[in-house]
Amino acid sequence: MLQFFKYVLATMVGLFVFFIVSIFLLAGIGAMFSSDETVVISDKSVLRLDLNKPIQEVGVENPFSGVGGPFAGEENVVGLKDIVEALKSAQKDDKIQGIYLKTEGPSTGWATLEEIRNQLAEFKKSKKFVVAYGESFTEKGYYIASIADKIYLNPAGGMEWNGLSAEYSFFKGTFDKLGVKPEVFRVGEFKSAIEMFVRPDMSEASKKQSLELLTAINDHYLQKISASRGVSPSVLKGLADSLAVENPESALKNKLVTNLGYWDEFENYVKGVLKTDLKKDITYIGVDKYLKSTNTSPEGDYNKRVAILVAEGEINSGDGGDGSIGSNKFVKELKKLRDDDKVKAIVVRINSPGGSALASDVMWREIQMTNKVKPVIASMSDVAASGGYYMAMACDKIVAQPNTITGSIGIFGLIFNVTDFMNNKLGVTFDGVGTNPHADWPTATRDMTDFEKSMIQKSVEEGYEKFTTKAAAGRKMPVEKLKTLAQGRVWSGVEAKANGLVDALGGVNDAVKIAATAAKLKEGEYRVRYYPEKKKPLEEMLTKIMGDEEEKALNKNFGELAAYAKMYKKLMNMGGMQTRMPYEMVIK
């Protein structure tokens, strides 16, 4: 009888869970259908540009974002493509009177901000207003805000103005404690991606290249702000050196902001510009809703397309996934575009710090084959370094923003010896047999011999020779000169252009124009289309539901040891030959 009640109770609980999940599924499906409804823009509307969110090349819509519950997760991810389209449309839209910038602390990269800032400059040609309000501003946030006609800073707020910095994490101590021994093989003085595993701090070569990169990006930053605010770069630099912008009053005194005021004071100013009643609410509209209200029918001839193929994330073999570039998937997409007679030119939009050397080479080959059939132009976003540059060097032309991080032409090998880790932390030991002395080589479960290590180093050096030889051929420069720019060193877009590693400075639209010209297409007669094609809402919903199944399985199977299993898996994914830029570089 007791067993019977257990089954009944389990069935009731199962039905209850099924009922709850069904509600959220139906709510998500309902949200998808309701999202298709037409949005009507009222007169005197203000486009709200909220940049305090993650920004990807193409937006991702989470159908559960407004529903809540177990599948809610993050809100919709904003797409740079969507932001640019909204700004272009709003520039000509009589119902949009201006733009409110919410840009206190963007978490995106500098080149993405450059694209947005340049498009805002285009918008201002319409003579419509651009205003910014912030309780505080980071350097990135202020870079966007600085283009506004009016910049309001909360009187009790604050503002970062102390220069750019880059801080790195080092895991040598962690690996020592865990019993993980990294075996590192590299070529190039500046190929410092592996330092985080084997050092507690930065090498002098790494400090040198990092400082020069930061200085180049900071110089461009100051020049652009100087042009917008009418304060010389030398004065701006002096303010940072002396920490003179210590409070909102000093920001106002030094002309970095135009007004100190609270939100209600800012809104009263906007109402005055709109010539509306102070008691009436301002109609703000976000990018997502605004694009649903506009005629987004693509312009140009469908049979004459310039395709933008997005390659964003770390580079891996296979199909990849969200946040990574899978060489198999990339090759399939590029081959389809190559074989499509309606696609006349291709822009490969790269935002990647690199990754697998093999996967990078596979994609390089496919790009080479494609540019024999039709023009292929590289457009570099925030970072196109190491494996990201490997992809770009196969293109006909390379376009980068002045603050793009690129170069890092180099290669390294990394194998983690996890014998002590598995033994001491998990109680797992290893033993085996083989037909030959090195049958299990390369291995992560024993110490390799000097001879075995020399063979891996030899492979890394051969990989470096292939990388630099192909880069030199792509750049049409002697290998000896190319090698002076390589050795794993990273460059800003400005430096890369001066050194011949890129052809032009600009954004994705500039790359599209270069591609169209190369394909002998006249302005206005071609259509621009992004690939891979965006998932439909139902596909996004299913991906959202199924996406965490692997993590659930790890937690279920390993319990308290799941964290160790996840770390082990991540370390194994980083093994082998890598074309990866130094560290995870975050400039703030």
Q: Find the CATH number of the domain harbouring 146.
A: 3.90.226.10
Taking the C-alpha atoms of residue 516 and residue 385, their distance in angstroms, rounded to an integer, is 25
Q: What does the pLDDT look like over 41-82, one tens digit per residue? A: 899 999 999 999 889 998 776 555 555 554 454 566 789 999
Same-domain status, 377 and 472 = yes
Q: Distances in Å between the alpha carbon of 447 and those of 271, 439, 442, 520, 581?
A: 71, 14, 10, 59, 27
Given a contact cutoff of 8 angstroms between Cβ atoms, the answer to whether 28 and 38 are in contact is no
Q: Say how many domains are in the chain.
A: 2
Query: Number of C-alpha atoms within 13 angstroms, CB side, residue 94?
Result: 0
pLDDT, position 21: 47
Q: What does the pLDDT look like over 215-273, one tens digit per residue? A: 999 999 999 999 999 999 999 999 999 999 999 999 999 999 999 999 999 999 999 99
- Region of residue 317 (left: phi > 0; alpha: psi -120 to 50; beta: else): beta
Same-domain status, 439 and 536 = yes
**187 domain-assigned:** no
Asked whether the predicted pLDDT for residue 290 surpasses 70, the reply is yes
Same-domain status, 317 and 266 = no
Same-domain status, 282 and 332 = no
Same-domain status, 357 and 444 = yes
Q: What does the pLDDT look like over 321-342, one tens digit per residue? A: 778 899 999 999 999 999 999 9
> In angstroms, how far is CA 125 from the centroid of its own chain?
29
Asked whether the predicted pLDDT for residue 452 surpasses 50, the reply is yes
Same-domain status, 371 and 466 = yes
Which pTM does this prediction carry? 0.85
pLDDT, position 576: 58
Same-domain status, 275 and 334 = no
Query: Which residues, in sequence order, are CB contacts of 394 under 8 Å at separation 6+?
Result: 364, 365, 367, 368, 371, 376, 470, 474
Same-domain status, 418 and 508 = yes
pLDDT, position 120: 98
Same-domain status, 263 and 322 = no
Question: Dihedral of CA 166/199/467/345: which sign?
Answer: negative
pLDDT, position 367: 98
pLDDT, position 533: 78
Percentage of residues in the chain with pLDDT exceeding 70?
81
Sheet with 314-316: strands ordered across:
181-187, 411-417, 576-580, 354-356, 314-316, 324-326
Asked whether the predicted pLDDT for residue 201 surpasses 80, the reply is yes
pLDDT, position 407: 94
Taking the C-alpha atoms of residue 397 and residue 399, their distance in angstroms, rounded to an integer, is 7
Domain that holds residue 118: 45-161+245-293
Same-domain status, 281 and 312 = no
pLDDT band (50, 70, 90) for residue 191:
low
- Percentages helix, strand, coil for the chain, rounded to the nearest 5? 45, 20, 35
pLDDT band (50, 70, 90) for residue 548:
very low
**21 domain-assigned:** no
Same-domain status, 465 and 561 = yes
Percentage of residues in the chain with pLDDT exceeding 90?
63
Asked whether the predicted pLDDT for residue 125 surpasses 50, the reply is yes
**215 domain-assigned:** no
Given a contact cutoff of 8 angstroms between Cβ atoms, the answer to whether 360 and 313 are in contact is no
Token representation of residue 552: 């659930």
Same-domain status, 432 and 514 = yes
pLDDT, position 4: 46
Catalytic residue annotation: 191, 386
Residue 461 has phi, psi (to 5 degrees) of: -65, -40
Taking the C-alpha atoms of residue 383 and residue 404, their distance in angstroms, rounded to an integer, is 6
Taking the C-alpha atoms of residue 58 and residue 274, their distance in angstroms, rounded to an integer, is 32
